[in-house]
């Protein structure tokens, strides 16, 4: 489930396991590609381009962190 993976990703980031966190966010996005928060978190933690967020249905720029 994407929400479980998201929790694991946040925990990995807190534990300074950044590569694992990015992998987990990517997995969560694959399971729930319309969740703009996942893209924003992955961007914040990993420096991925924010242009990915514009692919989400109903994307709003206020979802960026």
Domain covering 2-63, topology: 1.25.40
Question: For 2-27, what is each residue's pLDDT tens digit?
Answer: 899 999 999 998 898 988 999 999 99
Own/partner pairs, 4-8, CB within 8 angstroms, 24+ separation = 5/31, 6/38, 6/41
Rounded Cα–Cα distance for residues 1 and 48 (Å): 23
What does the pLDDT look like over 22-51, one tens digit per residue?
999 999 999 999 999 998 888 876 655 444
Q: pTM of the prediction?
A: 0.68
């Amino acid at each position: 489930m994407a929400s479980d993976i998201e929790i694991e990703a946040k925990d990995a980031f807190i534990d300074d396991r950044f590569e694992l966190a990015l992998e987990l966010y990517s997995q969560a996005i694959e399971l729930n590609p319309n969740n703009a928060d996942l893209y924003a978190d992955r961007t914040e933690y990993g420096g991925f381009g924010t242009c990915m967020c514009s692919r989400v249905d109903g994307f709003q720029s206020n979802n960026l962190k």
